[in-house]
Amino acid sequence: SFVVDSNTRARFDFDILAGNRVLLAFIGSASHAFGRRLRDDLLALQPELTMRCVRIGVVSADPADRDAETLATVVPPSIVFWDTERSVHRLYDLESPPREPAGRSPLRVGAVLMGENRRFRCFVPAQPLDTFAARVREAVDALPALVPGRQARPHAPVLQVPDVFAPDLCRRLIEF
């Protein structure tokens, strides 16, 4: 679980999405052509994934993306998460260790698919980019079918207060 800023609210608590299937797409930065292509592929998939009860969360690690219009096209039910401190990347082990002592940590890009109980189902790497959308579809196809919700049957209210009310009164209240 995590709490980060999003395009829908400041300090978005990921626990709010419990009960939903979620595709967290780590795009790195929408300032780069690669990140914009991932964004475009995800937006093209949005209607299909929404019909299949999968919410999209786009995770950007670039502080410049927040002020730029590059992610303004991501609209509900999809959500943009601003992970400028890379805490979400670390949570899902998508921040590789530095290759050089003075180098910056490169980020892995791709999508983490989670079931409605927020359990990790699979990671879909972004590369090769040409097959990313098809691989996301395959991962969603592999999810087990959703079990339709059932409502609990209504039952008679029960009132038990020993030695306070007369038994006849209790019966009349139950039958009411």
Give SS3 for 110: strand
Which phi and psi angles does 33 have, rounded to 5°? -60, -40
Give the Cα separation of 77 and 67 in Å (integer): 21
The mean predicted confidence, pLDDT, of the chain is 85
Residue 55's pLDDT is: 93
| 54-60 and 21-28 strand pairing | parallel
Residue 105's pLDDT is: 47
Q: Is residue 59 within 8 Å of residue 89, measured between CB atoms?
A: yes
User: What is the model's pTM?
Assistant: 0.77
The residue assigned the tokens 């019909």 is 51
Q: What is the pLDDT of residues 24-41, one digit of tens each?
A: 999 999 989 999 999 999
